[in-house]
Amino acid sequence: MDVLSVPNTIAQAYIALGSNLGDREELLRQAVERLKQQSGVQIVKVSGIYETDPVGYTDQPAFLNMAVSVKTSLSPNELLHALFDAEQLLGRIRDIRWGPRTIDLDLLLYGDVTMDDEELTLPHPRMMERAFVLVPLRDVIDSSHPLQDLVSVSAAAALQDGKEGIKLWKITNWLSESERFGS
């Protein structure tokens, strides 16, 4: 689907959120609030919050991770820039790859768009390798999405064997009004 050439297209997108510095839960809440306030973005569903061990650079505090499903009229790159803006407003500094951060917002999926340019790769190239992405994504991914079965199976396996260092930390009710949109 070439969303860039179709005016007023509404796409379903999925975003991963993570934080391991400061008041992690509050930073996640503020990030969700910024997404709610973003023109052209409507939050559909919010996952639970999961506490996860760091991956890659492991000498850092545990993360809180979650995912959101949104409907958006923004293009993939416009949505990516909105995520970057939210990160910057919430104090994100990029010094160490996979290092500690106040907030991290990753665009995982955008409709059925597949793209790879200097700024954005969709679907997210490493999402299927990361339990801290798959488990919260399982909470929000639409049952009709082509990756739903694979995400569910991978997330269940990560939780079952316990070696992925992820556990449910809290169920949120920040967007109880989002339930009226369904999943």
Catalytic positions: 92, 101, 104, 106
Angle between helix axes 76-89 and 24-37 (nearest 10 degrees) is 140
Pairing outcome for strands 41-46 and 49-52 = unpaired
Q: How far apart are CA 133 and CA 67, in angstroms?
A: 7
Q: How far apart are CA 31 and CA 25, in angstroms?
A: 10
Closest to 181 in 3D by CA, of 69, 66, 21, 24: 69
Residues 6+ apart with CB under 8 A from 29: 172, 174
Q: How far apart are CA 53 and CA 90, in angstroms?
A: 22
Q: Give the DSSP H/E element, type plus range, for residue 169.
A: strand 166-170
